[in-house]
Structure 1
Amino acid sequence: MAMIAHLATSSEQEAATGARMLMPMPPPPPCTTVAARMQACDVALPTLQPCRLPCQQLWAHRGKPQMHVAVRQLRHRLSPHMRMPALDLPKLAQIEAEEARIYHDWRRTVCWPLSMADVQRFIALCTGGDGALRTTPVWIRSHDGHSQLPMVPAHHSAERLAQLLRLLADGAVGVGMTAAVQVLALVNNAHAFRDGNGRLGRALFNFCLHRAGLPDQCFLPLKTLTVLSQGGYEIRLREAELYDRWDGLYGYHCTTTELYAWLGEQPAAPDQNEDV
């Protein structure tokens, strides 16, 4: 079920049940099989070629066996039960291009280690706001309005984000793919800002990979791949939150990286003439 964020009203706060909680730290490491796959992704990072038009490339190569295999891996066995918005390829391509542009502009302005000010500046850039941490309750609600879920309380979310930046600087969440997957999930779980949390998580995912050798011109299109997964990412995130099962998330992002690597090797011949 796709969700959108909104501020809670007083009546909704009274009805809050099953609120989202902070994920335990540190996250569990991947199993042996998934760890080997993640290590292979780390080794391959410096060799990846940039995919300039990821939405169009994904559409152009939709009939190829490699795409079918990747899509099956991105989706979850519960994906058929998810209510997802209709695919709007031109809009998605525009969103993805803007995310990549803002990320690259932001990355050129930061130094290591990342500070809270760096993160807040990214939020300000991508939302057109001031980058302030939220101080009020926030919920996510399904597109049909029938379901809603309270997020982590504001003071806990701010503390978690500060903690996460310290752990990232110390190498306590690993490097490369391990750091990228953990940081993305933990940022989404904390939901420290009123808006821009997903974009921040995706930016930090790419930032971790760039520090591990991903070429500067590359930007993994996680927004597009999340849509392609038909809820596959969201379901795996909830499995990690509720049951501390992380292998699904680790494996999902191995697939995203492998698919991006494959797309970068394909000829740039997007099919833009068919009705999507």
Structure 2
Amino acid sequence: MEGNVVERKLLLYPDLKSLAVETLQYVDRTNKLLALHGHRNRAEQLQIIHSDESLAVLRHSLSPYYMLRNPPTQAASRSLSEIEVMSNLTQLFAGCIEQYRPLQFYNFIETLGCLLLEKPTSLRKGPIFTTVDRQGSRVKYPDADHIEPALNNMHRFILSRKDSLPDVATAVVVSTALLNCHPLVDGNGRAARILLNFLLLRSPQNYLYFYDAYSAAQGGYQIRIRMAETLGDWDELMGFYCFLIGRMCGG
């Protein structure tokens, strides 16, 4: 920590075999549900997100404190724009999971950024921070020279797990790793959700609306992802996604 700047360290990948037995069983059940390619349509998913009281379990005991510092914001068309971007990247992503080609994976991430931002973009070259909070603190993401090694680790991890797809554990770890290294100047959250859907073998036709669902959790997602990053506690984040996917897929 340097003054009011908290430096985020690069993600340490978990040993997935060390997850709690209950978590591994939950992940396995959810993977089987995903393999059926079942899904609810957009209207059904949003109805669940906005009216299903069972989603209250996605909140965290710290949610009230989180919401005080982070008032809810919502971009109504965010998920629809993610689907449009995904539809243009299916072939490029398929090439990325065939074999280890670092430049091809960099190109996938850069193209993802270009489509999200609707302008030419590349992997970031300089420092990037969160906005300053009410106490004057902000978080600095890992330096730009760590981005390519971080993407290499992501790519290798995906390839080591590709025969297990669709797999919640793989998707959660990789999307968390992308958010951790923040390779784009903007649009990293959207990129992570699109990557999540790719690794869950979804398509534009059965896309899962994670952006809309995160708001229902009232900070439960953000708190759990920080627990995974900083404490190495992945069980709660895995359980969060398994429950959410089960509700959104009709399980």
One-letter amino acid of the counterpart of residue 56, structure 2: R
Task: State the shift of 1:47 in Å.
Answer: 4.2
What is the RMSD of the two structures over their aligned residues, measured on CA atoms?
Answer: 2.6
What's the secondary structure of 1:149's corresponding residue? strand
| Cα pair distance change 1:108/1:257, threshold 3 Å | same
Gaps of 5+ in 2: 98-104
Cα distance in 1 for residues equivalent to 2:248 and 2:4: 39
Could you say which residue in structure 1 is the equivalent of 2:41?
Answer: 51
Is the 8 Å Cα contact of residues 173 and 179 (structure 1) preserved in structure 2?
no
Q: Contact (CA 8 Å) 1:167, 1:173: kept in 2 or not?
A: no
Indicate if the aligned counterparts of 2:58 and 2:221 stay in contact, CA closer than 8 A.
yes
Say if 1:50 and 1:257 are closer, same or farther in 2 by CA, change over 3 A.
Answer: same
| Matching residue within 177, 180, 183 for 2:171 | 180
Partner of 2:24: 35
Against the structure 1 CA distance between its residues 22 and 174, is the aligned structure 2 distance closer, same or farther, given a 3 Å change threshold?
A: farther
Residue 226 in structure 1 maps to residue 214 in structure 2: yes
Deviation at 1:25, TM superposition (A): 2.6
Cα offset, 1:178, TM superposition: 1.3
> Which stretch of the first structure deviates more once superposed, 153-162 or 237-246?
153-162
**What is the CA distance between 1:240 and its match in structure 2?**
1.1
Q: CA deviation at 1:120?
A: 1.3
**What does residue range 6-25 of structure 1 map to in structure 2 within 5 Å?**
15=3, 17-25=5-13
Superposed counterparts of 1:84-233, under 5 Å: 84-86=70-72, 88=74, 91-92=75-76, 94-114=77-97, 115-142=105-132, 144=134, 146-171=136-161, 175=165, 176-210=167-201, 214=202, 217-233=205-221
Q: Distance in 2 between matches of 1:251 and 1:153?
A: 31
Q: TM-score, normalised by structure 1?
A: 0.77
The yes-or-no answer on 1:235 pairing with 2:218 is no
2:228 is paired with a residue whose SS is helix
**Residue type of the partner of 2:136?**
H
Q: Supply the distance in 1 between the matched residues of 2:95 and 2:223 (Cα, whole angstroms).
A: 32
Are the aligned partners of 1:187 and 1:201 in contact in 2 as well (CA < 8 Å)? yes
Asked if structure 1 preserves the Cα contact closer than 8 Å seen for 2:83 and 2:204, the reply is: no
- Cα pair distance change 1:218/1:55, threshold 3 Å: closer
2 CA distance for matches of 1:234 and 1:248? 11
Distance 2:73 2:153 in 1: 37
- Percent of aligned pairs sharing the same letter: 24
Cα distance, 1:256 vs structure 2: 1.6
TM-score by length of 2: 0.85
Q: In structure 2, how many angstroms separate the alpha carbons of the residues matched to 1:49 and 1:95?
A: 19
Q: Label 1:177 to 1:219 Cα distance change in 2 as closer, same or farther (>3 A).
A: same
- The code of the aligned residue for 2:28 comes to Q
1:68 lines up with 2:53 in the alignment: yes
1:142 CA drift (Å): 4.9
Instruction: Note closer, same or farther for the CA distance 1:125–1:201 as it changes in structure 2 (3 Å cut).
Output: same
Change (3 A) 1:232 1:197: same
The size of the alignment, in residue pairs, is 239
**CA deviations over 1:223-269 (Å, ceiling 9, x no partner):** 1111111111111111111111100110111022012123xx8xxxx
Alpha-carbon distance in 2 for matches of 1:191, 1:173: 27
